[in-house]
Each structure stands twice: as structure tokens, then as C-alpha cells.
Amino acid sequence: MKELTYVEALNEALREEMMRDERVFLIGEDIGPYWEGAFKVTKGLAKQFGVERVRDTPISEACIVGAAVGAAMTGMRPVAEIMFGDLLTLAMDQIANQAAKIHYMFGGQLKVPLVIRSPFGAGKSIAAHHSQSLEAWFMHTPGLKVAVPSTAYDAKGLLKTAIRDDDPVMFFEHKLCYTTKSMIPEEEYLIPFGEADVKREGSDVTVFATFWMVHQALKAADKLSKKGIEIEIVDPRTLVPLDKETILDSVRKTGRLLIVEEDCKTCGIGAEIAAIVSEEAFDYLESPIKRIAEPDTPIPFSPVLENYVIPNDEAIVKGVIDLLES
């Protein structure tokens, strides 16, 4: 085992897959030898594999994704990087109307083995155009798979699985997770899509969390444990496919569900999780489902205001106690 940061784990996954399969190439803005990626995920890869396989592009998200979709249709396995997840909006036609639908519209004759990597989330004080969490948009689009790793270990295993998948995968990374560390096996491993991970077992309340909120939930768990309250933290790891059974089994055990998400509350991923549990495990609930999410507002630039709108461990502690008292 070795300890790697989230960024290093992603870099290692890309390197291993590029060595394994010559069809894998990277494409994106500033990912080449000069900048090596805005968050250094592609560090050293252009030097090792050359600029033909680590391709810098113009500042055009539509160009990046459009070229990657075309390459995937012809048998390549592109990994496209969009520097900030907010800028995926500039390539939504290529993602939602082309990549997601091609396999279906061509009767299965064409595949689109494409990975689109992009960082989401707030916490860096870089304002409303660079801080959103938009995963619910892509979860809502049939034909796309959606991965949301919260740890370095999950990031490496899920990225390798994504690159080998024959369907388009939206692979989202939280900026604040980039410096977190995990123990990584020396030997190769992959993490199957659709298998949630129980990050901490407990019996009192199920906490469903993604991305940076998993780390906030773990902090909250330590505080609650001192009060004699044990929460169970369920990390879905992928939103599409979604491991409903792990979520439902946990709720059946605890009888209570707190959903913690960084996206906007209205029509966020928490709404879907709440609906699933209400439809399939309602009789097991001992109190109403509670959601903690970002209010329906753009992310502020001000650090004070940004901290105010983004959920944290203290909000989770309060939410758990409110659930137990309800």
C-alpha cells in the first residue's frame, strides 16, 4: 500500500490506462506540457506519452467535447477535461443531445466510450461561475453514467472503470477533495459502477452524502459519537448507476435518513434519493426524511457568504439531532 493524494491517484489511473491501451488519449485546455492541468491531474503525462496523446485545445468546451465524441465514435477512448464543471454548460448539446443519445439513436451500432472529467464544488472563493455542483443535471440525462468519487482510493478505481466503459461517463471531482489522501494498493484494482460504499457504520441515522460532504459527515460522526449517537454514512460513489439497495438497507436498519448535498436543494440529487426511499422503504421510517443542501442561490465570491451557504459538519450534527428529536 502507498499513500496518494486524490490528484495523484487520478494521475496514476490515467497513466496506467494510457500504458494499457493506446486508444486512450487526453484532450482539454491547458492539460499539456506547459500547465499540466489547472489542478495538475495531468502532470508529467505529456512528457511520457507525447502531445499527440495529451492534446492541448483552444479555449472552447464545445470543441473539446465535440472532438472527443467524434473520436470515441471511431474507436478511440478519449478522456476530455473541462477545467471547471460550470463550463460544461458550453458543451451541453454535445453532451446531452449527442454523446448521451448516439448509441440509442443508431440502434446500438455505435458506441461512445468517452470520459469527461471536471471539478465541481465551492470552498475556493472563485465565485458563481467556477463553484457550482451540477451533478443532478447529468443524472437527469438518459444515456450518461455519473461518477462522484469522494476519496483518492475511489477516484483511482472509478476512473479506470470509466475509461474501460463503452458508454459516456461524466466523471466529477470536488476541488476540496484534491488534497485528501488514501492508502492505495500497489496492485491494479477497479471499482465497479453502481456499488455504494458505507464509509462508517452506525445504527441511529443514515447519512447519504457525496463528494466533500462525505468528509464533512465523517467529521460530524466523530462529534456525534461523543454524544452517544452513531450515524451510518453511505457514499454512492456513482449516481448513475445508483446502488439503491445499499441506501435502502441502511434506512431499514436505522429508520432515519439525512441527505447532505452541495448542489441546490430544489430538484437536487437529494430529491431523487428522498423519493426512492419514500417509495420503497416508507414503512421503515421513524421520522420524516431531512435534506441539507445549498440554498437556491449562486455561490457567493465572499468567503464569509460562501461558508454560509455551503453545508458543513456543524449543520450535519444539528440535522442528525433534529431527526432524532422529531
Average pLDDT of 10-26?
Answer: 98
What's the pLDDT score for residue 66? 98
| Residues in a beta bridge with 3 | 183
What's the pLDDT score for residue 277? 98
Mean pLDDT score of the chain? 97
Active site residue 130: yes
Determine the Cα–Cα distance for residues 35 and 18; give it in Å rounded to an integer.
20
Q: Per residue in 35-68, pLDDT tens?
A: 999 999 999 999 999 999 999 999 999 999 999 9
Q: Residue 231: is its pLDDT beyond 90?
A: yes
HSE, side-chain direction, 13 A CA sphere, residue 303: 1
Q: Per residue in 265-311, pLDDT tens?
A: 999 999 999 999 999 999 999 999 999 999 999 999 999 999 999 99
The DSSP code sequence of 31-76 is: -STTT--TTSTTTTHHHHH-TTTEEE--S-HHHHHHHHHHHHHTT-
Instruction: Give me the catalytic one of 103, 129, 130, 215.
Output: 130
H, E, C per residue of 196-241: CEEEECCCCEEEEECCHHHHHHHHHHHHHHCCCCCEEEEECCEEEC
What's the pLDDT score for residue 278? 97
* Complete domains list, the chain, with CATH: 2-184 (3.40.50.970), 197-325 (3.40.50.920)
What's the pLDDT score for residue 189? 98
Threshold 0.85, pTM exceeds? yes
What's the pLDDT score for residue 292? 98
Average pLDDT of 72-83?
Answer: 98
Q: Residue 326: is its pLDDT beyond 90?
A: no
Q: Residue 168: is its pLDDT beyond 90?
A: yes
Task: Name residue, grid cell 456513482.
Answer: 238
CA 228 to chain centre: 31
Q: Per residue in 175-210, pLDDT tens?
A: 999 999 999 999 999 999 999 999 999 999 999 999
Q: Residue 214: is its pLDDT beyond 90?
A: yes
Average pLDDT of 250-277?
Answer: 97
